[in-house]
Structures are given as C-alpha cells and as structure tokens.
Chain A
Amino acid sequence: MIEPPPFLHLFPIRHHGPGSARALLAALHGLKPDAILVEGPADANEIIPWLGHEDMEPPIALLVYRPDKPDAAGSYPFAEFSPEFQALRYGVQQGIVTRFFDLPQSVMLAAVARPLMPDTAVFHQIAQAADHHDYELWWNAAIEQRQNQDDLFTGILELMTAMRSAAEETLPPAMDEKMAAAHAQSGQIAQQREAHMRHAIRQARAEGCERIAVVCGAWHAPALCHLDNAAADDALLANLPGVDVETAWVPWTYGRISATTGYGAGIRSPGWYHHLWQMGQQQATPTQMSIHWLSHVAQLLRDQDLDASSAHIIEAVRLAEALAAMRGLPAPGLPELNEATQTVLCFGDAAPMQLIQKRLIVGERMGAVPPDSPMIPLQRDLHQQQRRLRLRPEPETITLNLDLRTDSHRERSQLLHRLNLLKVPWGKITPIRGQSGTYQEVWQLAWKPEFVVRLIEAGVWGNTVETAVTQFATHQAEQAQDLPTLTHLLDQALLADLPELVLSLLGRIEAQAAVSSDVPHMMDALLPLARVLRYGDVRQTNPELVRHVVDTLVTRICIGLPSTCASLDNDAAAEMLDRVTAVHTTIATQQNEDHLAAWEATLRQLADQPGIHGLLAGKATRVLLDTAVFQPAEATTRLERVLSGATNSANQLTQMAFWIEGFLKGSGLLVLHDQALWQLLDGWVMQLDAERFQTILPLLRRTFSTFSDAARQQLMERVRYGRTAANQPITHPTFDEVQADKVLPLVAKLLGIQS
C-alpha cells in the first residue's frame, strides 16, 4: 500500500458525486488545510475568487476559450453538489491558497490529441465483482448514497490503486499504426496531466504550505502519492505547446450537465444528485430521501392534474424499499424509485415518466453569474461582429436602411435576425410601405442594458452568436409541438442564414407533419419549404432533403384534404380557399409529375365531393378547367348541374352563389369568352324572383368585385348590348367633336405620324 507524504491529503472523488462532495466537505472542516488544489485547468486560477461572490449560483461552468476562436473552448461545469465546487468555495471563503492544478487549457487546446481516458472495462469488472451490472449504479449505491463515510477516501484510494495496476496489466486492444500513434499521443498527455499535478503540489509545498488538500478524479489519486521524481516530471512538462486563452464563468443548466461535456463523462441524473446533496446536508436517512423524492414526484404529477395522494406516496416508498431488498441494495436507488413511481403513482403508465425524467431527474435548474464577471465568449464574439459590421450598440433608437444586395448589409441583417432569435431584440424590423421588394429592410435599433444579462444567459447555448442561436433555436424546435411554430422558426432561420438550424427544423417539420392530422397547418408549412426549394435560399441546405419533406407534405395534404374539407362553415371555407389556391400555385410551379397527378386527383375529389362547401367545389372545378383537365364543356356541365337545384331553399341558393364565387374568383374573363357559360349564368339569374335575387345579390357582388375594372366594364357592356363592345365606335350625346379635333395634331406628333 502506498502512503502519501504527511503534508499531502488526497481526496479522490468522482466528478459531480454528491456523496463525495458531502464527505469531502466534512473532511475539509476536520483537516483545516492551508492549501486546496482542485483538478481543473491551471490557467483559470485568476477567476477562482469569483466563486465567493454572492450572486454566483450554480450550476455554472468554467469556460477557457481562445479569444480568436471562441468555439475552441474547454468547459468545466460545476453544480452545487460537485465536490470541486464545494472545495473551491471552501478555499475562497477561508482565504487559503486555492488553485486548479491540472494541465493548463492553453496546452490542451494546442494539443492535437485528447488525453487518454481509463479503459472502462476495469470499471465494469469491479461492478461485476460486486454483483452489479452497471458501474454507475454500483458507484451510486456504494459511494454516493453511502451513509457511513469514515475512511471513504482511503478506501477509494486503495480501490483505485488496485484498479490502475489491473488496467496496466490488461493489454491495449489491437490497433493499426495510425491508431497506435494517436493512442501514444493521448497517453502522453495523460502522463503530462499527472506530472503537472505533482509539479503543482511540490510548488505549494515549496511555498510553505503544510496541509495540502488535493481534490481530483479518483483515477488520478494513486499517481499523486510519489513526489520524489521531480526531474522526470519537469522533462515531461518541458516545451509544452500553447495558445492564448481567456477564461470566464458562464451560467449552466442541469440539462447540459447531463450531456457529455469536456469534464469527463456527463452525468445522467443531475436533478437526482441535487436531491441527494440537499438531503445529505440535512443528515437524512435513506427512507427520508425516498419519501422526499417521491413527494416531489407527486407534486409534479399534481401540477399536471394527475392524481397523487399521500397514500400513493406511502405505497410507493414501501414498494421501492421492497424492491431494494429483493435486489440486495442497502437503500432504494433511482431505478427502484422510478419503478415504484410508475407502478404506484402512474398506474403503470410510462408517459408521465418522461416528464419526471425531464423535470426532476435531469432538472431544469439554471445557474447565474454576477453581471460584472469577466466577459463570456458569446459577448466577445458579438463585440467583434459589431466592430466588424460597424454597428455600435447605442441606447437611443437609430433607423437603419439595409440593401440586402450588398454583402455588408446582408451580414448586418443576418446578425440582427440572429439576435432576435436569441431573444436579444436589439433591432426591430419595420414593414416597408408601398414596396414589396425583398432586397430591402428597415430596422429600428436600440440597445438596452438588460441585453447583457440575456447574452450571459444565452452563453449556455454556445460561444459564438451563430452556434448559440442554432443550439437555442434547435432546443425551441424540440419543444415545439405544432407545425405553425416550426414553420415560423424556419422562416426566421432562413432570414438569419442558419443552414444547420434549417436542417434540424426540416427534420422536426417532417416528424411533426407525420403525426399531425391538421391539414391546414401542413398547407401553411408547404409554402416556405417550397420557397427554399425554388430559390435555393439556403446555400448549404441539401435540396434533396427539402424535396423529401415537400414530397411527404404534398402526399399527406392530398390524402387528408378531402376529409378536412368535409364540413366547413363560410369563414373556414374562405380560409381554406386561400390555402388551396396557395398550394395549387406551389405545386404548379414545382412541376413535379407525381405531385401534379396526386393534386389533380384530390381536386377531382373535392369537385365531386357531396356536401362540400360551394366555394371549394367551385374553386376545384376552376383549377381543373385552367389546367385543362376538364374540357370547357365539362366545366359548363358541372355549373349547369350546380345551378339545376331548387332555388327556393335559401341555403341551397347561397351554396350556388358560393360555387360561382369559387369558380369565378379572381378573373371574370372566362364568362366573357365562353358563350355557353354566359348563357347559363344569365339564364339562372333571370329566373330568380325579386326576393331571391335580393338574397343572392351581395354574394354575387362580392364575386364580381374581385374582377379587374376593365373586365367589369366589358361585362357591363355585354349585358347592355348583348355583346362585347371592343371595336364599337364611341357615340355619346354630349361628345364635342370640335374639342376632340384640337388634340389630334399633338397625338399625331407623339406617335410620329405626319398629318
């Protein structure tokens, strides 16, 4: 057994282990060290004192990033239950030497390889030896949920020593040359890390510290016991590469801690660990921990209007404990509590478990950092872009006219759109009057101080504006449950020129369209998509991908439309008419044979469907006539059939008028040129008596008011004279030939005619 020197006190922990944190804090209070060294990049030491700030609220992350390339960064998240956080905060509060002592991030960022992580096989062997199928579960049961924590760290140190020597004996897997070289590089960085740690311990000792507490991942602890060979370590640490880095604290979320991040492995259940930590602070027994946890669960279920009484909680606790006993565990773990929850509280239903997973097991807690703490990479990136694009943040409102045909203007517009997506509404776009040009935008800019706070919050999502907005909007898209929200996001993503986001939105839209039975929403979603396809709007979007989404949307619209149109009132039918028109225009411009055929079949169905609103049947007939699917004779027959009904029922009469409106809407030239149609309509109107004519008049008027002035004029003349008055000489009683003659010389001159 190796013994560390008397001035050195090793605390091997697991990152983010609440049990480790509790035991560590107790040990620190007992030991009263004069120096604390914590695993973390040594070049972030400057900002450790911020942890003592009262506005600093975990979860937070230490970001070490390259100022010139903020995306290249190492992030080290800390939760309240992280042993590292507790150790650092203890050190800052006691005013003793408190340092990170791992290899600087500047070296890690410059290095080509990532440090070698221990082979997981050894961990599984340990778990199996203890009759567990999962290492994480075993560690939770054996270490984190342990009640008696005496000698815990000595025990872990012994365990890790044994595991390291076992791992050294296992041969690495067979590798080709390239892999072997990479493996060797990673191995070297791993050695350099531990050499640096030893170096830092020696340095603290040289400064006269007598009780040095070292908090590091359990795996490293055995390597830190022997401090004699300083020369070998110095050799390892000579000539390290390096880049310039900056450091900052950023707010973090439990959701992001649960994903795998830079700090070793992510943890699956931060919310559960938070609970363990808090209960541990209160010296709770395992049963109390289960009771409190299940009470939180019950509360959550009640908030969702699901039954969850105290009796349920009692039974769930009993079941969890019975399960733990059956499985030979000292106390129920998360799996047992989850199973008890589903069986007792959710009546076997798995659906609420997803909610519990998201809200409680992972948790939605978000941290905060003081607003005056060092600038985070996202802020820095925005500053750079503001300087580059000459957009100064000013509190008073400025109007900005952008011509999107120039690069610099387009980039400004993109930045403003992106910030809007990120909920930093620096610029508001104002609609341009009169002009419908797509190349111009007018913005009102006004910078507000609270935007800084929002930026810091948004720092969770990424280190540059582009990555942050992409991540954030992707997250929003995942939350969105309906197509219009997604379509709206897609529109914004296109304006903000975020190809990656567009891609993920396309996926979400496709998935949502598949489960949605809301055909109108799908019709609305089709238009922006078709626009992408048509203009190749997004430079990096794979057109095949968009095409696929468009294909499935068209298919689903064609299948679902007839039943959706089955019973619509007048307003709904009018809205649907606009949608049908828009979809038709879209499909017609796409010129895809399959789509055209499917759409034509759907329109036929609409035209024939009994009981469908007149507007839609009329419109379908008109479209089919325009696309030459119906011969004019066929359309006439259909109109005749519609008008042949009894005209004494008011309802039927209005449906006829609606049919005519749908059929003629937009252009009246059809009636002018088709003699048979004209006669039909004429005959129908003529046979109406005065009362029924009055009923129908407003509807017909509405139809005819959509025609162009010229068309109406011609219709008028046709009614008056029985034919179109195209080449009629103008005869008017008050026509003054003398006056008219006076104009002729000028007209002749204008036209270049010699008189």
Chain B
Amino acid sequence: METILRAHAEQQFAAELYELEEADRRPRPANWRLSPWAVATYILGGTLDNGFEIVPKYIGNGRLIEIAIATLTTDRALLLMGIPGTGKTWVSEHLAAAISGDSTLLVQGTAGTSEEAIRYGWNYASLIAKGPTAEALVPSPLMLAMRNGRIARVEELTRIPADVQDALITILSEKLLPIPELNQEVQAIKGFNVIATANDRDRGVNDLSSALKRRFNTVVLPLPATAAEEVTIVQQRVHSLGQALELPAEPPALAEIRRVVTIFRELRQGVTENGKAKLKSPSSTLSTAEAISVINSGLALAGHFGDGVLRANDMAASLTGAIVKDPIHDTVIWREYLETIVRERDGWGDLYQACRALV
C-alpha cells in the first residue's frame, strides 16, 4: 500500500468511518453505512462521545453540507456546482465514502464520454462468440451502483455532450436502466443515488437540458468567505508548491499575498473590501487557484530574473494576464480599477506603476 500515491477517502479515513459507525445510534436510510447526522459529522468534523476526534473535511458553511445530505436522503440526485477550486470533487468523494463506504463508482465527464460509459458496454470478443448474453455485458459504474444500492459519482457533468447527458434522465427519474438487447432491466435498489459535479464557468458549454436539470438538487459551493481564510489557503499552497518546484526565491511576504488576494476578491465581488466603492467584474474566473499561480509565477520571475525577493514588478505581468482575458472589455475594467482604487491606496504606488506600465 505504501507505493500508492493517493488512497481513496474510505481507505485514508477508514478509522474515522469505523468509529462513527460504532457510535452511530440514529436511524440510517436503507443501505446507508451511516445515519445522515453521522455523515454530517464526518464531513464537518467533531468529537465523538468516546473522545475520538473527526477531522473536518470541508471548512466553510456547514448548512450547505446539511442540504447536500438531506437531498441524498430524499433520493434526489445531488449536483455540486462552483467555480474551479471550491472543493466539489473533494466533497462528493467524501459523501460517497461516508454514505456507501465506496467512492470508486466514478464516471469522469469529458467531451469524449460516451453513452456506454454511463449505461453499459460489451465485451466484444464474448459478444461475437456467444451473442448478447449477461456475461458479455460490461456494466458501467452507474449500473453497479444501482445493483448494489451505492452512490455513483459523475464528475464534470457539463463537459459531457448533451445527448449523452440525457442517458441519465431515465436512471434518475425511473431509477431504471433497460437493457433491450437482453430484454432485461436493472432496477436500482434502495441506497442508490448520484452525485454530480459541474463547473460554474462551463455554463453554456454543454448546458444541462431542463429535463435533466430538474432531476437534480443544486448546491453551489462558494469561494472562501473571508479574505483571511483565502490568504491562508493561498499561503499554504504557495509554500508547498514552491518546495515542489524548488524555486530559488524567498517565500513571499504575507503583504504581497494579501494584495493579490484583495485584488482578486474585490474584482470578483464587484465591491471593495471596505464595501465603500462598487466595481465592475472582469470576465476572468479569478479563483483562489489563480491567485496561487500569480504568486508562483511572480516568485519564479523574482528567483530567476530578479533579486530573489517578490516585488510588484514581478507580479504585474501575471496579475494582468490573470485578470485581462478579454482584451477590450477586461482592459477597461482593469484600468478603471487601477485608476480609481489601486492608485488611491496607501503603499500600493509600486503596484500601480508596475501594472499601469502594462496596460
């Protein structure tokens, strides 16, 4: 096991799941490994009566997790939405692990995902040799989940072509998967459900049909709520990435991280952190992950071409690049922001000069 790069959630947190199962006295829905309350404790963390400590898996609004779990108890499918880097996949994996004890029934959505990946495929050698038989049929993860009453996961639902997506409709509404070739069908047993994730910014790529959309309850996972929370996340990630990439520069001062996080948050939310001035938001995502990459490329510049200390000049290029995705529209917004906000702010003169030189 030591050679495995990344263990499944149910392997990594096996001890926690075991302790929760032991301590759990509340009613469990059919085929659920834990009661809904215990699932919430597993995700949000807490201390059991026997003193066992459960590590929080999701830090943020606990009510959202309650909504997600309550959704799954009503046998409605759950759609986790959010911009990249908000922990959708992470939450879905842990929900599946806690509810079914199995997070591996996974369909990864891509532009090339076919209907076979969602329904079933065939072992062609067997198909040609014996004709369509149950042995020749290769079940999809969804079919397995239906048979065993487990949670199936569909990642990046909106990347899947629209006609393939619609294969889910019968499964979700009738809880049924017909196999016309064998004149058979698979009826889902209790405990089966689907957790899908979708990227907010992909809206319009392969938008869900309204028929499919209304079979999901949608929970939107938000970006970090406070600047402090986001600064901490960026700092930790920059630190660990910097070590991995062996960047020669010094770790960045907290002040620089705060500035980048502040700019990202303000532009994203369309209002300054003090709430006093409104702003236009650019078309770019400006996620936490992008803030991390801005700092990292700034560090690389400072390390390889500068004096080893992260300065405004090192960040200006990648900062502008991250914000200005649409050359006409975003440039106006970024310039307005520079002129009305950055310029006025005490101690931000260097950043203003550096960015202004680029647009």
Residue positions of A touching B, CB distance < 8 A = 307, 309, 311-312, 315, 318-319, 322-323, 325-327, 335, 339-340, 343-344, 346-350, 510-512, 514-515, 517, 552, 555-556, 559-560, 563
Cβ B336 vs Cβ A555 within 8 A: yes
In the bound complex, residues from chain B placing their C-beta under 8 Å from that of A307 are 210, 214
Q: Which of B67, B79, B339 contacts A323 (CB 8 A)?
A: B67
In the complex the two chains form, is B332's CB within 8 Å of A563's CB? Answer: yes
Please indicate the chain A residues that have their CB under 8 angstroms from the CB of B213 in the complex.
347
Q: Which of B37, B210, B217 contacts A319 (CB 8 A)?
A: B217
Residues of B within 8 A of A552 (CB): 340
Most A CB within 10 A of own CB, among B37, B67, B219: B67
- Assess the B73–A322 pair: CB atoms within 8 A: yes
Tell whether, in the assembled complex, residue B270 and residue A515 are in contact, meaning their CB atoms are under 8 Å apart.
yes
* Minimal beta-carbon separation of A245 from chain B (angstroms): 40
- Beyond A326-B69, A348-B79, A559-B332, whether A514 also contacts B279 by CB under 8 A is yes
Contact in complex: A514, B278 (CB < 8 Å): yes
Which residues does chain B contribute within 8 Å of A322, judged by CB atoms?
70-71, 73-74
Contact with A along B72-97 (1 / 0, CB 8 A): 01101001010000000000000000
Interchain nearest-CB distance for A606 vs B (Å): 15
B86 smallest CB distance to A (angstroms): 12
Residues of B within 8 A of A510 (CB): 277-278
Shortest CB-to-CB span from B53 to chain A, Å, is 22
Does B196 touch A at the CB level, under 8 Å?
Answer: no
Beta-carbon nearest neighbor of B27 in chain A: A325
Complex Cα distance A510/B272, Å?
13
For residue B280, CB closer than 8 A to chain A, the reply is yes
Within 8 Å by CB of A515, from B218, B278, B335, lies B278
**Complex Cα gap A555–B36 (Å):** 55
Per-position contact with A for B49-80: 1 when CB-CB < 8 Å, else 0?
00000000000000100110111011010010
Chain A residues within 8 Å of B340, by CB: 514, 552, 555-556
Chain A residue numbers with a CB within 8 Å of B210 are 307
A244 CB, nearest partner CB in chain B, Å:
43
Known: A319-B74, A326-B36. A517 touches B217 (CB 8 A): no
B136 lies within 8 A of chain A by Cβ? no
Q: CA of A58 to CA of B217 in the docked complex: distance in angstroms?
A: 38
Bitwise interface map of B from 140 to 172 toward A, beta carbon under 8 Å scored 1, else 0 = 000000000000000000000000000000000
CA–CA, A346 to B219, complex, Å? 10
**Chain B's nearest CB lies how many Å from the CB of A138?**
17
Q: Closest B-chain residue to A339, C-beta based?
A: B67
Q: Is A348 a contact partner of B339 (Cβ separation < 8 A)?
A: no
Distance (whole angstroms) from the CB of B81 to the closest CB of chain A:
5
Residue of A315, A335, A514 near B74 (CB, 8 A) is A315
Interface pair A343/B36, CB less than 8 Å apart? no
Q: Does B244 contact A (CB under 8 A)?
A: no
Complex contacts, A339 vs chain B, CB 8 Å = 63, 67
Q: At the interface, yes or no: B129 with Cβ under 8 Å from chain A?
A: no
Chain B contributes a number of interface residues (CB within 8 A of A) equal to 33
Q: CB of B128 within 8 A of chain A?
A: no
Any chain A CB within 8 A of the CB of B1?
Answer: no
Contacts of B227 in A (CB 8 A): none
User: Is B328 in the interface zone, CB < 8 Å from A?
Assistant: yes
Besides the contacts A315-B76, A344-B217, A552-B340, what 4 more A-B pairs have beta carbons closer than 8 Å?
A348-B81, A511-B277, A512-B278, A514-B277
* Contact residues in A for B176 (Cβ distance below 8 Å): none
On chain B, the residues within 8 Å of A335 by CB distance are 63
Pick from A326, A349, A511: contact of B66, CB under 8 Å: A326
Q: Which of A309, A319, A346, A517 contacts B67 (CB 8 A)?
A: A319
Please measure, in the bound complex, the distance between the C-alpha atom of A517 and the C-alpha atom of B281, giving whole angstroms: 11
Is A347 a contact of B218 with CB atoms below 8 Å? yes
B81 surroundings in chain A (CB, below 8 A): 348
Q: Which residues of B have CB within 8 Å of A311?
A: 214
Given contacts A312-B214, A326-B40, A515-B270, contact A343 B219 (CB under 8 A): yes
Q: Which residue of B lies closest to A309 (CB)?
A: B214
Residues of B near any A CB (own CB < 8 A): 36-37, 40, 63, 66-67, 69-71, 73-74, 76, 79, 81, 210, 213-214, 216-220, 270, 277-280, 328, 332, 335-336, 339-340
| List of B residues within 8 angstroms of A555 by Cβ | 336, 339-340
> Of A312, A318, A349, which contacts B220 at CB under 8 A?
A349
**Closest CB of chain B to A290's CB: distance in Å?**
14
User: Which residues of the other chain, B, contact A318 by a CB distance below 8 angstroms?
Assistant: 74, 76
When distances are taken between beta carbons in the complex, the residues of chain B under 8 Å from A517 are 280, 332
What residues on A are CB-neighbors of B332 within 8 Å? 517, 559-560, 563
A327 and B66 contact, Cβ closer than 8 Å, known pairs A322-B74, A555-B339: yes
Residue of B nearest to A327 (CB): B66
Query: Could you say which residues of chain B place their CB within 8 Å of the CB of A340?
Result: 67
Query: Which residues of the partner chain B approach A512 to less than 8 Å between Cβ atoms?
Result: 278
Structural contact, A343 and B63, CB atoms closer than 8 A: no
How many angstroms from the CA of A105 to the CA of B213 in the assembled complex?
57
CB distance from A302 to the nearest CB of B (A): 14
Cβ of B230 to closest chain A Cβ, rounded Å? 19
A350 to B210, CA, bound (A): 18
Name the one of A323, A346, A347, A349 contacting B70, with C-beta atoms under 8 angstroms: A323
**Which residues on A sit within 8 Å (CB–CB) of B277?**
510-511, 514
CB-CB under 8 A from B40, the residues of chain A are: 326
Interface centre among B36, B213, B336 (most CB of A within 10 A): B336
- Tell me the complex Cα distance, A514–B69, Å: 40
A307 to B210, CA, bound (A): 9
10 nearest A-B pairs in the assembled complex, by CB-CB distance? A348-B218, A514-B278, A322-B70, A348-B220, A511-B278, A347-B218, A323-B70, A318-B74, A343-B217, A555-B339
Whether B278 pairs with A350 at a CB distance below 8 angstroms is no
A617 to chain B, nearest CB (A): 20
For A511, the chain B residues whose CB sits under 8 A away are 277-278
Report the nearest A residue to B81, measured CB to CB: A348
Residue from the list A312, A326, A560 in contact with B37, Cβ < 8 A = A326
| B67 near A343: Cβ-Cβ < 8 Å | yes
In the complex, A325 Cα to B66 Cα: how many Å?
11
CB A225 to nearest CB in B, in angstroms, measures 41
Are B214 and A343 interface neighbours, CB within 8 A? no
Assembled-state Cα–Cα distance A517/B40 (Å):
45
Shortest distance from the beta carbon of A132 to any chain B beta carbon, whole Å: 14
15 residue pairs bridging A and B, Cβ less than 8 Å apart: A307-B210, A311-B214, A318-B76, A322-B70, A326-B36, A326-B40, A340-B67, A343-B219, A344-B76, A348-B218, A350-B220, A510-B278, A514-B340, A555-B340, A556-B336
Residues of A within 8 Å of B336, CB to CB, are 514, 555-556, 559-560
Cβ distance B58 to chain A, nearest Cβ, rounded Å: 16
CA distance A523 to B106 in the complex (A): 56
In angstroms, Cα B66 to Cα A323, docked, is 7
Q: Given the complex of chains A and B, what is the CA–CA distance between A335 and B336 in angstroms? A: 39
| Docked CA distance A344–B77 (Å) | 11
Task: Among B36, B217, B279, B335, point to the contact of A315 (Cβ < 8 A).
Answer: B217
Measured in the bound complex, the distance between the Cα atoms of B336 and A515 in whole Å is 11
* Cα–Cα distance between A514 and B40 once the two chains are bound (Å): 42
Residues of B within 8 A of A559 (CB): 332, 335-336, 339
A319 touches B71 (CB 8 A): yes
CA gap between A323 and B73 in the complex, in Å: 10
Tell me the complex Cα distance, A563–B270, Å.
22
Residues A326 and B279 in contact, CB atoms below 8 Å apart: no
What residues on A are CB-neighbors of B217 within 8 Å?
315, 319, 343-344
A677 to B339, CA, bound (A): 39
**Bound CA–CA A325/B36 (angstroms):** 10
Most B Cβ at <10 Å: residue of A511, A559, A563: A559
- Min CB distance A318 to B, Å, is 5
Looking at A312, A318, A349, the one whose CB has the most chain B CB atoms below 10 A away is A318
Instruction: State the Cβ distance, A141 to closest chain B Cβ, in Å.
Output: 16
Complex Cα distance A470/B333, Å?
Answer: 33
Q: How far is the CA of A566 from the CA of B30 in the complex (A)?
A: 65
- Expressed in whole angstroms, the Cα–Cα distance for A326 and B68 within the complex equals 11
Please, how many angstroms separate the alpha-carbon atoms of A235 and B279 in the complex? 61
CB distance from B222 to the nearest CB of A (A): 9
